[in-house]
Structure 1
């Protein structure tokens, strides 16, 4: 199994309403992309000096399934919404 972890920091102009909409879009991806075994998305609670703002954790059966998710048309609107407001992104994909 492959675990995909992505952590984001956004520009200040990305409003709480837009963040909520984006997170809802992410949370809906497992319904649209069958290769996603599980997915969670959430906002940071501690707001520490090293914290990012939002994290996504998703599990896939294989690297091929992760690649399918990455290129899937349902993923495109999520990427399009976050691209102009993303200040930073860190991603780690590892085998469980």
Structure 2
């Protein structure tokens, strides 16, 4: 997780399913993030979570990092997005 424009920084975390919501042709999947032992998230990131937006076929269209339930100035790295995609494919019935 890193602020837009900052240097690349990988963070270790686990995920858990929170909820899902259908919006017409879109399916929103909300995930909770749990930092691993001894991991420090960026100090400006207060309460991170994940919004995964899928199309009607179940394909992931976008992965958004939320802070306190809202879009924020942070983004996931490619490796972190891959971890989230894998979690959704294995643990969420899309």
> What TM-score results when the alignment is normalised by the length of structure 2?
0.32
1 or 2, which has the higher strand percentage?
2
Give the number of the structure with larger relative contact order, counting CA–CA contacts within 8 Å between residues 6 or more apart: 1
Give the TM-score taking structure 1 as reference length: 0.31
